Amino acid sequence: MSEAWDERTGQRLSQIADACRNRAPRVFEAVGQVGYLEGCTQPVCAFASNDYLGLSHHPAVVSAAIEAAERMGVGAGASRLVTGSRLVHKQLEDEIAEWKGTERSVLFPTGYQANIGLLGSLGEKDVLICSDELNHASIIDGCRLSRARIEVYRHLDMGHLDSILSGWHGMAMIVSDLVFSMDGDTARVAGLAELCRRYDALLVLDEAHHVVGDDPREFLDGVTVLRVGTLSKTLGSQGGVVAGPSRFVELLENVARSYIFSTALSPVAAAAALAALKTYRSAEGERLRSALIRNIGELGGDSQIIPIVIGSEEDALRASSELLAMGMWVPAIRPPTVPVGTSRLRVSLSADHTIDQVRALRDALEAQRIRRLNR
């Protein structure tokens, strides 16, 4: 073993631990939100899942996955441009395009790869990319992998974004989460669209966490928009997607490195996502969205993501431990996921949660807030 590398790795791990930022996966055996967490003797209710509608274990979705595995196996075996494309991929892409009201869509193995593929492909040297300062890490990394000039605008600040665009004379792109993953607030789509029209800019909207609320299409007349999504959150499966005009999709199929050089999305995941999307667009989907909206209302949230900003890493860890002792698992979110000094509990609600579970969490959070103020 290289002593120098061993020492450097140990030093970095020590720095992470000293800052109360060390993390490790914990095994959680569950179907839905209740299950057994490694280190706990009793079942816990998780409030951290991105399976917002509980579709990961919906009978129709599970049945579709099983049938696909039996018929096609569990892996595609190659990239889409070699031998990895299956009929189910095209069926899912067509269904997503219809759902989003776009000409076409293209699948990626993950939502992360969708963003780095899109931004890396379109972010050429003569392009300006304007990115909200609270955008997801996949957007940040996609910007870094591009050759474009990158400008980060203050969160939701349309005036700041306008000032950046007004000083640029060339091709421009604005990229924003639609619902922000750590704060749960929503992009000002009307303002973004107006700036795109004014400066002839391309709009990229990452809709990964957008489950309920207004469809952004009502604000997008006259705007060229690419809509990025995941199959792992609203649809409870796995994968990523970019939906938009046909020529943009065709370009991504030809130049996006994360598409060209990755094994295709598992046909099992594609079949599950297709079944989940059909469920989402049915009366059953409406019922699930209503249940989620009900749960959001119980905690007074603007979306299913409700951040409780605490401050220090130590206090966030303590608050998470107190909840876990009561059978509620809300992991502490710490830097580098969020800025220093904003460690938090990130409550993530699902249609799976019963009203009693949500009210129990609400009562526990209110009690915790009193104890923290009294320390």
Say how far apart CA 359 and CA 362 lie, in whole Å.
Answer: 5
Enumerate residues 6+ apart whose C-beta is below 8 A from 49.
Answer: 33, 348, 350, 352
Q: Looking at 49, 146, 181, 343, which residue is catalytic?
A: 181
Q: Is 181 a catalytic residue?
A: yes
DSSP per-residue letters across 237-264:
S--EEEEE-HHHHHHHHHH-HHHHTSPP
Give catalytic status of residue 163 as yes or no: no
Distance of CA 176 to the CA centre of its chain: 12
Q: Is 20 exposed, middle or buried (0-12, 13-18, 19+ CB in 10 A)?
A: middle
Through-space distance between the first and last CA atoms of the chain, rounded to whole angstroms: 47
Evaluated on CA atoms 263, 102, 274, 235, the torsion sign reads positive
Q: Which residues contact 214 (CB under 8 A, 6 or more apart)?
A: none
Q: How far is CA 336 from CA 142, 155, 171, 318, 342, in A?
A: 17, 17, 32, 18, 10
Q: One of 121, 233, 258, 348 is an active-site residue; which one?
A: 233
Q: Token pair for residue 94?
A: 């067509």
Among this protein's residues, is 233 annotated catalytic? yes
Q: Which of 58, 89, 136, 209 is catalytic?
A: 209
- Tell me which residues are annotated as active site: 181, 209, 233
